[in-house]
Amino acid sequence: MELQEQIKSVIRDVPDFPEVGILFKDITPVLQKPQLCSHMLDYLAKQCAKLNIGAVAAIESRGFMFGFPLALRLGVPFIPIRKKGKLPYDVVSHDYTLEYGTASIEAHTDAIEAGARVLIHDDLLATGGTAGAAAELIHKLGGTVAGFSFLIELEFLGGRKKLSAYTQDITTLVSY
């Protein structure tokens, strides 16, 4: 079986979570398959090899699951992006609009070196609001967005178009 098919056969669809009408793509069954995870990381690392990545930034909390091991594979520092109030040291924040209300994400002020080429990673690309906010945060920290990577893309929500304002280098493992 091809890698994409293998991943799709393991992702679990959970209807109406966390709200009625959302089909939640649950990656926890993927985490139970270490060999599959390793192949997924190989694929992402290969796709990112040409981008000259200086750091990987990932979004709390499902983004950390593959984001940190991806940074290790690429041999670059890891930057945790967290929701407001979770990081202990001085932070830079970015507020963004959600379907209902606003949210705020943060990173430590010393998280990246000026001009660093950063790959932004998350588990899933939907509308692109979260990853776009992460890109704005990286800019505030003095970094450049060198690429995005996701395990899953929900193509019908158009996130890729939104993120193309930052870079054309958007890698996804499986799409729906």
The residues assigned a catalytic role are 62, 99
- Each as own residue / partner, the long-range contacts of residues 77-80 (CB below 8 Å, 24 or more positions apart, any chain) are 77/112, 79/55, 79/107, 79/108, 79/111, 79/112, 79/118, 80/107
142 binds ligand AMP (CB under 6 A): no
Q: For 6, how many CA atoms within 13 A lie in the half-sphere containing its CB? A: 13
Q: Looking at residue 49, what DSSP letter applies?
A: G
Residue 174 in contact with ligand AMP, rule: CB under 6 A: no
Helix (H, G, I), strand (E, B) or coil at 31: helix
* DSSP codes joined into one string, 118-167: EEEEEEEESSSHHHHHHHHHHHHTT-EEEEEEEEEE-GGG-HHHHHTTT-
Binding of ligand AMP at residue 134 (CB under 6 A)?
Answer: no
Stretches 44-52, 77-85, 104-112, 126-134: which one binds ligand AMP (CB under 6 A)?
126-134
* Beta-carbon count within 10 A of 83 CB: 13
Binding mask of the shown chain, residues 85 to 124, with x at each position contacting ligand AMP by CB under 6 A: -------------------------------------xxx
169 binding ligand AMP? (CB under 6 A): no
**CB of 139 vs ligand AMP, minimal distance in Å:** 17
From the CB of 26, what's the least distance to ligand AMP, in Å? 7
Task: Please report whether residue 73 would count as binding ligand AMP according to CB under 6 A.
Answer: no
- Binding footprint of ligand AMP, residue count (CB under 6 A): 17
Q: How far is the CB of 52 from ligand AMP (least distance, A)?
A: 25
What is the chain's alpha carbon radius of gyration, rounded to the nearest angstrom?
16
3, 77, 129, 139: which one contacts ligand AMP (CB under 6 A)?
A: 129
Q: Which residues bind ligand AMP (CB under 6 A)?
A: 22-25, 59, 62, 122-131, 159
